[in-house]
DNA sequence: ATGAAAGCGCTAACAT
DNA sequence: ATGTTAGCGCTTTCAT
């Protein structure tokens, strides 16, 4: 392990220039400087130039805390995600942050790390920071932490998941079209024993995807056998175990209801030496880039992540402007690749 | 006049309780309340209880801006990453954020999205926010934005990459051991035409990995043929194109110097119908979870992400405490899987 | 159009 | 141990 010594900087400008310094240097009053910098009121061209020049020379940057303290808005929003390592949330975070920045809003990106306690700590941070708005993917559903944000009257939207009985507008995907297509796909391929790996029933996505699956099956006259349903928790481990269980019960196809569990199912099939798309069919969730690189490329139910993020920010902006906002559901769809066989009885690819 | 506007369906508490309210309710002076809440000075048990009780009843939460304005530290650090979608940075972000939270510090996670302009905008946000410290993965190297952070005297550390001539302590990985093992592995398998896909020469990681590769080859008496080096940019696309180019030049093995380019190389090999580990050997970079799920599981050079993150936070904490900090390099290592053939001339697996 | 001045909510220095 | 008070840097009246 190499090691390089680094000197502590010493010639650093300790006191940062304040609006007062800019006023002094430009020969203007503090109020005028503020007005020029914010464009909040008319100013003469002469003083505008003088102020801007002084600010530039001084390298002046307004103190966000002083501004927030006085003006009751901070120019920041918070985004609270359950797990930033989950590629779905990473992508969502990128979209939200980018859309927010386009509106001049900085994003405090908070990662609950699948931990309710950390979720609560971050909600507290968010409330202390007096952010202008909050976009969150709720973790679990028994949240007095969420109630507090509402009590604080901080504009908020839910992304990806919603919570019953909490009147916060949400942008979520509708699992119905995608799962309906997935069921069709599997049925056409001749499968009679299909396994489903659910998410946690404590999340709206877990419940709704399971419900959409059962509805799709019912629409084709099939009653879902509880034996062929494994209850997971959106983590890879539960996808591994769930698929193992379902395989033991003789399923010929598996539907996993989120990306991490899809990976888990893939891993179990690999471990058992199963030829996916031949011995076993597998349909995953979320169209992650890597799913085209897996063995084999995965047939998946795709969610419109970018639209969820963009729409979510617009909705939050509307709320911040005091407007009303209606929850929306964006459709999912099936992307057919090689983890599902092409015809009944015939091998895939 | 208080707002009489009717907000639909919400009876929101408009004015948040301040320290003054807590003081009034508890019958204590403001100063005492502050002391109790911060534990900054001794207080009597009786007043402590009274204050705490009043604060609880009121649902009081200190205003972070007021506190920061007055006390010159904000309890937040900023983490600036080039691309949060890159699983390497997502994992690093998680580790840093978690370590920071353990020290009572909230993390402002900023995503430059591989865009220099967005990088600069976030640096400005960071400076306005008067964060207590900054951990960043520098993007490119011509950064007056970075100089400004230094001029502001905000404690800072570099993670993953460093910038020459900028005296900021860094925690980066040492590509030498891993790449040396990778070269050994390939040479033992009998390869004579090995292709290397570099990162951008404008980043320390790009330069150092390339240099480590050449050194490792030189140590085995081999001069690297410039024809067999493709210059990429750490994006998947350049991995696809670079591997295509190298393949056209007749390489029998490819070494990619980051995870995204590894995926690109994998994709090109798939597209060409090459059997990886047989027709062509491939060694990737970073041990991402998905690399065990790809076709085939990838042999990779692994970086100790968690250590980089943890060490980085410790180093930043030290800097924030006014202490000196020494840059460190953490070793990489080879993880041997199925994308490299087992013996000269014999098929893999 | 601009200057003066009153705070925003808090901490810390100074009292007692 | 606790009360009092002066700001932190800024926006926003209120004058002019």
Segment A121-150, tens digit of pLDDT: 999 999 999 999 999 999 988 788 999 999
- Among A12, A75, A84, A325, most B C-beta atoms within 10 A, so best to mutate, is A84
Is the bond preceding residue B321 a cis peptide, omega within 30 degrees? no
Nucleotides of C under 7 A from a protein CB: 1-13
Residue of B12, B16, B97 with shortest CB distance to A111: B97
How many helices (H) does chain B have, and how many strands (E)?
12, 12
Strand partners, A281: A253
pLDDT at A236: 94
- Among B125, B163, B168, B260, most A C-beta atoms within 10 A, so best to mutate, is B125
- Cα–Cα distance, A187 to A167 (Å, whole number): 39
- Cα–Cα distance, A273 to B112 (Å, whole number): 42
Please give the radius of gyration of chain A, using alpha carbons only, rounded to the nearest integer.
Answer: 26
pLDDT at B342: 78
Strand partners, B156: B134
**Region at A323 (left for phi over 0; alpha for psi -120 to 50; beta for the rest):** beta
Footprint of strand C on the protein (CB under 7 A): A 27-32, 35, 41-44, 46-48, 66, 69-70; B 15-16, 18-20, 30-31, 34, 37-38, 40, 60, 62-63, 66-67, 69-71
Nearest to A293 by CA among B142, B267, B110: B267
Q: What are the start-end ranges of the H helices in A59-115?
A: 64-71, 87-102
Tokens of B194: 């090995």
Nearest to A328 by CA among A342, A315, A341, A319: A315
Q: Indicate the pairing of strand B299-302 with strand A333-335.
A: unpaired
Tokens of B74: 């904000």
Chain A residues inside the 8 Å CB shell of B168:
6
Q: Is the pLDDT of residue A346 over 80?
A: no
Residue of A3, A13, A295 with shortest CB distance to B327: A3
Q: Does B271 reach chain A within 8 Å, measured CB to CB?
A: no
Note down pLDDT in tens along chain B; length 349 residues.
Answer: 223 233 333 334 568 999 999 999 999 999 999 999 999 888 999 999 999 999 999 999 999 999 999 998 899 999 999 999 899 999 999 999 999 999 989 888 899 998 999 999 999 999 999 999 999 999 988 788 999 999 999 999 999 999 998 999 999 999 999 999 999 999 999 999 999 999 999 999 999 999 999 999 999 999 999 999 999 999 999 999 999 999 999 999 999 999 999 999 999 999 999 999 999 999 999 999 889 988 899 999 999 999 999 999 999 999 999 999 999 999 999 999 999 997 655 433 3
pLDDT at A98: 92
Chain A residues inside the 8 Å CB shell of B83:
94
Chain A residues inside the 8 Å CB shell of B14:
153
**Region at B345 (left for phi over 0; alpha for psi -120 to 50; beta for the rest):** left
**Mean pLDDT score across all residues of chain A:** 92
Q: Is the pLDDT of residue A345 over 60?
A: no
The b-or-e profile of A294-332 (16+ CB within 10 A means b, else e) is bbbbbbbbbbbbeebbbbbbebbbbbbeeeebeebeeeb
Q: Is the pLDDT of residue A28 over 90?
A: yes
Strands, E, within chain A: which ranges?
A: 3-5, 76-81, 106-111, 133-136, 156-159, 170-174, 194-198, 229-231, 253-256, 281-285, 299-302, 328-331, 333-335
- Cα–Cα distance, A138 to A161 (Å, whole number): 6
Burial of A251: CB neighbours in 10 Å, binned 0-12, 13-18, 19+: buried
Q: Tell me how far apart the terminal alpha carbons of chain A are, to the nearest angstrom.
A: 49
Nearest to A98 by CA among A327, A331, A306, A316: A306
Between vectors from CA A245 to CA A239 and to CA A248, what angle results, nearest 5°?
135
> Inter-chain contact A289–B236, Cβ cutoff 8 Å?
yes
Separation in Å, CA of A68 to nearest CA in chain B: 7
CB under 8 A, 24+ apart: contacts of B208-212: B208/B175, B209/B175, B209/B179, B209/B257, B209/B285, B210/B257, B212/B174, B212/B175, B212/B176, B212/B179, B212/B180
Nearest to A156 by CA among A164, A165, B113, A147: A147
Strands, E, within A184-232: which ranges?
A: 194-198, 229-231
Of A294-303, A306-315, B107-116, B311-320, which gets the smallest average pLDDT?
Answer: B107-116
User: How far apart, in Å, are the Cα atoms of B20 and each of A69, B51, B65, B138?
Assistant: 15, 11, 16, 43
Q: How far is the CA of A32 from the C1' of C3 (A)?
A: 8
User: Could you give the 3-state DSSP secondary structure of residue B29?
Assistant: coil
- Cα–Cα distance, B261 to B199 (Å, whole number): 9
> Inter-chain contact A69–B85, Cβ cutoff 8 Å?
no
Q: Which residues have CB under 8 Å from B37's CB, separation 6+?
A: B19, B51, B55, B62
- Cα–Cα distance, B305 to B96 (Å, whole number): 10
Angle between helices B87-102 and B305-320 in degrees, nearest 10: 40
């Amino acid at each position: 392990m190499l090691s390089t010594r680094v000197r502590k900087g010493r010639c650093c400008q300790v006191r940062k220039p304040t609006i007062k310094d800019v006023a002094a240097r430009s020969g203007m009053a503090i109020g005028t400087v503020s007005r020029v910098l914010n464009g909040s009121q008319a100013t003469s061209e002469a003083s505008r130039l003088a102020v801007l020049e002084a600010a530039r020379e001084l390298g002046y940057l307004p103190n966000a805390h002083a501004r927030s303290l006085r003006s009751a808005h901070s120019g920041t929003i918070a985004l609270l995600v359950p797990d930033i390592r989950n590629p779905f949330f990473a992508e969502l975070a990128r979209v939200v942050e980018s859309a927010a920045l386009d509106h001049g809003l900085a994003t405090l990106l908070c990662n609950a790390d699948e931990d309710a306690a950390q979720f609560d700590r971050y909600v507290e941070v968010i409330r202390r920071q007096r952010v202008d708005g909050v976009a969150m993917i709720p973790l679990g559903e028994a949240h007095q932490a969420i109630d507090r944000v509402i009590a604080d009257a901080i504009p908020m939207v839910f992304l990806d998941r919603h919570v019953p009985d909490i009147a916060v507008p949400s942008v979520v995907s509708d699992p119905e079209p995608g799962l309906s297509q997935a069921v069709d796909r599997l049925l056409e391929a001749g499968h009679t024993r299909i396994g489903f790996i659910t998410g946690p029933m404590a999340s709206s996505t877990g419940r709704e995807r399971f419900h959409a699956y059962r509805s799709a099956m019912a629409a084709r006259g099939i009653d879902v056998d509880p034996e062929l349903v494994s209850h997971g928790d959106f983590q890879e481990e539960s996808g591994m175990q769930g698929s193992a269980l379902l395989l033991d019960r003789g399923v010929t196809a598996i539907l996993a209801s989120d990306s991490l569990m899809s990976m888990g199912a893939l891993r179990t099939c690999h471990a058992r030496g199963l030829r996916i798309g031949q011995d076993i069919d597998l349909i995953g969730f979320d169209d992650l880039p890597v799913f085209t690189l897996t063995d084999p490329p995965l047939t998946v139910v795709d969610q419109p992540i970018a639209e969820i993020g963009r729409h979510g920010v617009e909705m939050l902006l509307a709320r911040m402007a005091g407007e009303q906002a209606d929850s929306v559901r964006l459709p999912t769809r099936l992307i057919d690749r090689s983890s599902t066989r092409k015809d009944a009885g015939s091998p895939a690819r």
